[in-house]
Structures are given as structure tokens and as C-alpha cells.
Amino acid sequence: MKSVAIIGASLAGARAAQELRAQGFDGRVVLVGEEPHPPYDRPPLSKAFLAGTASRESLDLLDADDTASLELRLGTRAERLDPAAGRVVLSDGELAVDGVVLATGGRARTLPGTEGIAGVHVLRTLEDSLALREELVPGARVVIVGAGFVGAEVASTARTLGLDVTVLEALETPLARVLGPRLAQACAGLHARHGTTLRCGAAVETLLTTGGRVTGVRLDGGEELPADVVVVGIGMVPATEWLTGSGLEVGNGVHTSSGLVTKLPNVVAVGDVAAYAHAETGVRHRHEHWTNASEQAPVAVANLLAGHVTRQYAPSGYVWSDQYSGMLQLAGHPEPGDEVVFVEGTAEDGAFVATYQRDGATVGVFALNSAKQFTRLRRQALRRPASVA
């Protein structure tokens, strides 16, 4: 293999580029990104960068040595993959390559019919964060649709700026599918303790506008909430449309083996777009977390360079989120029915650690503002198996 194209200047794409060099690949590496920016870190977009306390430069994922070993094709859209011809068709030409890493991530979901309404925002890109930051001005009334990690982090930032914030969540308890009902309820309490209004079981009927700008949100049932800014945080859609006709299997992401290899041994997928089959169960998973994107790159690159699966991906399940004055940390793979055991503190405390128990085994660890204890328990109870052939 003499040349590799990485499609997607994302965290997963940046880590794949670094791994190619770290694993001894000395051929041509082309990193293609639709955005005009080199790869940047996304978590601060809802936190420090949105608040204006982190610089643009602090987001960069590649240093000068990294970029010196790559060909960057930024502001360039991938339009078609032609594996038979060994080429990628781009918006400004074609690339002939031996291997391909798919790291395209996806786009933020929107509320139907809200495109073009001033004051309505999603948050996934640098431009999204900059546009939202300009509107978080004193006196603004902010309504956030979706109380997942991004929605909660934006709410936290907006409250830090002194704004009136209401969060709307369709579920009865936000994050219950991730944390289970008991710990999700504890996290929901962070909103109330910091002055954010959380409305659960709330579905949006429509947005109210005047002169093309949002003025409020109407809920199912007719209640109307005033809003100067609306932030939609209801997930993302994997960027796979451009792979139509490529021969790859897609469906809520690019389908891969447990080694992140697609039907074609010279094409792998990493990050938010990768829907991999679990090595033991065969169940397909797709994760949208920073750690996952970073952890997948070494496995995918090793298998790409080998030409077959030599390593299998074993996710750590580690997720963190900074909300208000709290740091939430989760590791493992808990399910809503698992037993929650508090190791330190209680759900009502401002700091606690809990484990998830299933069939006598610890399957997850969660902590609020208890990083040291979390790390200790994670290492003791969730030792990861080595990735093997």
C-alpha cells in the first residue's frame, strides 16, 4: 500500500493520520475535509469556546510535524467512492489511492421546517459555535430542545453567561437511556440547582416567528414559551449519502466488522460514522463520543495496513461531560436494568461514585465530581481485554 486517503478532517480522521505514521506507514497520506479548517476538537464548542474563554488555536488537533507529513485538502467535499477504480471523486477533482479511511462523522439533526429561521441554531461545527456565541447576549432568553450531553452543556454555558435558559426534553428523564433512571435523575437535578428550567415530556409543535426570526416555541398542547434563541440538540445523522453506489453496506452508519473493516479490505471506517459489529455478540454499534473516535483509529489503521483483520475493537465506553459546576464521567456498558450501587456519597450529593452491577459483575462506573475515585474503580473493575485477532 503506497497511498491512503482519509475522508473527514475530524478527530477520528486526525487520529487515523497520526496512527498511520506511528505504525510505520511512509507513503502518501491525503486528509480531505469539507470544512475549511484543519481538524479541531469539538467538545469545547459547547463549553469554553462557546463561552469565549478558549481560543481558536487551542482547538487544533494536529501540530506542525503532523501536518508536514500530510497532504491537506480542506474545503473539499467527497462526492463518490469508486473502489473498483481505486479512486475518490472530490468536489475539485479525483484522488487515486490504495486505501481509504472513512471518518466523515455526520451532520446535526434539525427540527423540520426550521431551516433559515434566524435565531435557531444547531451545534456541531466551529461556525455553529461562533454563530451561537454571537447571540448569547445579555438578556437573551434561550430555549434548548434536547437535554442530552450537548444540550446540557450549552445550557450550562448559557447560565454561566447569566442568561435565562429553558431545556425541553421529550423523555421523562434526560439521559435515562445512557445512565439508567436513577443516575439520570441525579444529573437532571444539576439543571434546577443552577437555575435552568427543565421541562421533561415536552414535545415541540412549532416555532413562533416574527419577520423571519424566532420569538418562541409552541409545545404540543398549545403552551407557548418566549425565546430569543433556540438551540436544537437532538443528535446527528451519519454522513453516508456520498457512498451510494460504492458497494459498501450502510444503514445508520457504515457497516464494518469488529475490526472496523468494511466489505472491502482496503476501506475502513472510524468515529461517529462507523457502525461496527461487536466481536462477541455480532450486534452492531455506533458511538458518538470523543473517546470512541480516538480509540478506534489504532485498530482500524492496523487492519488497513495488514490487509485483513488482525485486531478487534474493544470499546472502553468512557464518556465525560462538563455541566455547570460538575464533571460527569461514565465508563463501561451499563443498561437501564442494571443495579446501581453507591460506593461513595449518594445521588443527592454534589459528588458521588456509583457502580452498575449485573449478574454479580461490575459493568459500569459513574461519577459526579469524583475523578480520583472514578479512575481507581474504573481500573480495578473494568479491565479491558487486549484487542486480538
Given this model, what pLDDT does residue 389 score?
A: 41
Given this model, what pLDDT does residue 370 score?
A: 94
Q: pLDDT tens digits, residue range 271-317?
A: 999 999 988 888 999 999 999 999 999 999 999 999 999 999 999 88
Whole-number Å distance between alpha carbons of 159 and 338:
33
Residue 74 has pLDDT above 60, yes or no: yes
Average pLDDT over residues 356-377: 94
Residues 6+ apart with CB under 8 A from 339: 356, 357, 358
Residue 61 has pLDDT above 60, yes or no: yes
Given this model, what pLDDT does residue 326 score?
A: 84
Q: Residue 381, SS3?
A: helix
Given this model, what pLDDT does residue 383 score?
A: 63
Q: pLDDT tens digits, residue range 125-175?
A: 999 999 999 999 999 999 999 999 999 999 999 999 999 999 999 999 999
Residue 79 pLDDT class (50, 70, 90 cuts): very high
Average pLDDT over residues 224-251: 96
DSSP 41-99: -SGGGGTHHHHT-S-SGGGB---HHHHHTSEEEET--EEEEEGGGTEEEETTEEEE-SE
Average pLDDT over residues 344-368: 93
Q: Residue 133, SS3?
A: helix
DSSP β-bridge partners for residue 367: 329, 353
Q: Residue 145, SS3?
A: strand
The identity of residue 371, as a single letter, is A
Q: How is residue 246 written as a grid cell?
A: 460504492
Report yes or no: 169 and 199 within 8 Å, Cβ to Cβ.
yes
Give CA separation, 28 vs 48, 103, 306, in Å: 36, 17, 17
Q: pLDDT tens digits, residue range 372-387?
A: 999 999 988 876 544 4
Domains and CATH numbers, the chain: 3-107+236-306 (3.50.50.60), 110-232 (3.50.50.60), 325-381 (3.30.390.30)
Q: pLDDT tens digits, residue range 98-138?
A: 999 999 999 999 999 999 999 999 999 999 999 999 999 99
| The length of the chain, given as a count of residues | 389
Report yes or no: 242 and 80 within 8 Å, Cβ to Cβ.
yes
Residue from 204, 205, 207, 199 nearest 169 by CA: 199
Q: pLDDT tens digits, residue range 331-353?
A: 998 988 899 999 999 988 889 99
Average pLDDT over residues 228-249: 96
